[in-house]
Amino acid sequence: MPRLDIFGVKISMIPMPKNVERAADKGAYKTLRHAAFSIGKSARESMIEEEGPSRPGTPPHVHTGRLRKSILAAVDVKKQEAFIGPSYKLVKRGGRPPWLGKLHEFGGTYKRKKKQKRKSGRDIHGRFIKSTEAAEISITVTYPARPFMQPALQRNLARFHRDWKGAIS
């Protein structure tokens, strides 16, 4: 049964008689593939190249292009499912958290450790610290929600309804 899954939002079709199901299966792959790639393209195009962060509630700005390039679409022919969204493997390159796409879509916090060089001297406990030693500090970064996948789905829904009607022949 065709199903579309984006960040936990699932769209499924209801069971049908066998002859209708066979007719639907013929056009389902092409239509599902088209839908998946259209959503991915729409999400990538919504991200614009600008300095600084985007306003909360708008798609994230492109700085390096890594998040935008990581948006992939895949269709499972046997299960008739489409998965669209940032690839963890592609986002992770360059030290970014692999769940960066999810942080942008829904908002949230991310803790990371950062090495910081210290000056020679004594720490708060009176111990001597050489200037070559680096202190590891914890930084918490908060991301406001900047959805890009959900709006892409919403922009394309009306067209998909038309495409699915024409898929059964």
Note the pLDDT tens digit of each residue in 45-85.
Answer: 999 999 998 999 999 999 888 888 888 888 887 787 888 88
Residue 98 contacts residue 111 (beta carbons within 8 Å): no
Q: Which residues pair with 108 in a beta bridge?
A: 143
Q: Which residues contact 3 (CB under 8 A, 6 or more apart)?
A: 10, 11, 12, 13, 79, 80, 81, 82
Model confidence over 7-27: pLDDT tens digits? 666 666 566 677 766 766 767
- Hey, where are the domains in the chain? 3-104+146-167, 108-143
For the CA atoms of the chain, what is the radius of gyration?
A: 23
**CB count, 10 Å around CB of 86?**
26
**What's the rounded mean pLDDT across residues 138-166?**
85
pLDDT band at 93 (very low <50, low <70, confident <90, very high): low
pLDDT score, position 158: 82
Specify the length of the chain in residues: 169
Residue 137 contacts residue 114 (beta carbons within 8 Å): yes
